Amino acid sequence: MLQIYNTLTRSKQPFKPLHAGKIGMYVCGVTVYDYCHIGHARVMVSFDVMTRYLRWRGWDVNYVRNITDVDDKIIRRAAENGESVEQLTDRMVAAMHEDETALFVLRPDHEPRVTGHMDNIIRFITDLIDKEYAYLASNGDIYYRVEKFSGYGKLSGQQVDELRSGARVEVDELKESPLDFVLWKAAKPGEVSWPSPWGAGRPGWHIECSAMSRCCIGKTLDIHGGGPDLPFPHHENEIAQSEAANSCTYANYWMHAGPVRVNQEKMSKSLNNFFTIRDVLKVHDPEVVRYFLTSAHYRSYIDYSESSLTEARSALERFYQALQGVTPAATADGVSDRYETRFCEAMDDDFNTPKALAVLFELVNELNIAKRQASPDLPVLAAELKRLAGVMGLLQQDPDQFLKGPDREGELSGEAVDVWIAKRAQAKADKDYAEADRIRQWLLDQGVVLKDSREGTTWYRQ
């Protein structure tokens, strides 16, 4: 049975969906004012792996991930760039999709944008006002009454009394309580805005997810996910809004991906250790980055460093070297189900990808033995490896394509390597083994490793 760690209960729980065989999953997406960074990639890949696995096991998953395309950061950045909010966000959304495609991340079923759901957001705020959970302030903003909601703090473990005592008292006090948060911001001169019953304005950050998740999935979600910084205040505020408006549980399971550190430090622009996905992909193969992100459990922190990516590259090379020169069978029929069974046991244990990868490495070992012995099981073992790795979005490339890589400035081209391999083959045919060995060593010095087999010589870059 699938077990999921629930942030709300701080424990693993058997997964029981609202509707048999169906899962409604909402994940908080990106605020598109800049290029996505490696922390965004962690969330994207983590929930992509979960979705792939759940569907592979037969679940009908409705995966929704929103896009925040209007907020303070976006408005400021657009003004700095001398472009409209729409121009900035459209450009950043296109860039995000490019990054996702490179990382083999599948698109969600629905990708609602805040600007496309203003009617739903206004309707949601109206519901809260009607139930007296929200009020109009003197400046035209709408605020949520935090202390009216008795369950506030249950997700993050925050206590209302402690929050109240530590709250900053604003000079121009517009709120009934310092804990109250904004649902609707009255328009300022020159800002993008939308009409509402309370005047022109735009939504606060928290309300958008409550409104869009209700529209795209329903009043109660099976799973609500997001990044490590969201339990408080964002998800706590979502719970308060949604359960007050809908009079029912908002989400049955809360899942949060762990943080990314850089060389054991918190990733931060102020520390100058902030990496966008596209900058990382200029240096590293996208599948190496994806493997790196799946090599740690989704809830744990992961340390981004050049050594970590080198290790990820080495691990993937082992997979592709095992597959190199092998034509996988059309199906994996005939392979014992011991690998699939253990793979599923790992993934059913709160999507434990490190344990799942360990099972795949055992399969690689058996595949290598089969290659050495020219076993008739070789094609079906290769098919099983690709099938199970594919559930994690891995081994998506041709082995030669991955191992040889693109031609880079300062390296031997693939065409040049093939010429030297032909020269070495001729030397061996002429029984000039010293020359053949010299060529092998020279290529190794250039970062090219040769592998001889009955089928001929293959190569890959170190």
Q: Which residues are annotated as a binding site for ATP?
A: 269
CA distance 86 to 74: 10
Residues of each annotated binding site:
28, 209, 234, 238, 269
Whole-angstrom distance, CA of residue 69 vs CA of residue 86: 8
Distance from C-alpha of 250 to C-alpha of 52, rounded to nearest angstrom: 24
Q: Which residues contact 346 (CB under 8 A, 6 or more apart)?
A: 352, 353, 355, 356, 358, 359
- The H helix count followed by the E strand count for the chain is 16, 15
Beta strand 302-304 with 265-266 is unpaired
- Distance between CA 92 and CA 326 in Å, rounded? 41
- Annotated binding-site residues for Zn(2+) read 28, 209, 234, 238
At how many degrees (to 10) do helices 38-56 and 286-294 cross?
70
Please give the full DSSP string across 18-64, using - where no structure is assigned. SBTTEEEEEE---B-SS--BHHHHHHHHHHHHHHHHHHHTT-EEEEE
Question: Do the beta carbons of residue 424 and residue 436 sit within 8 Å?
Answer: yes
* Angle at alpha carbon of residue 146, lines to 144 and 151, rounded to 5°: 130
What are 409's two structure tokens? 């400035």
157's tokens: 């473990």
CA-CA-CA-CA torsion for 360, 362, 367, 372, nearest 10 degrees? 150
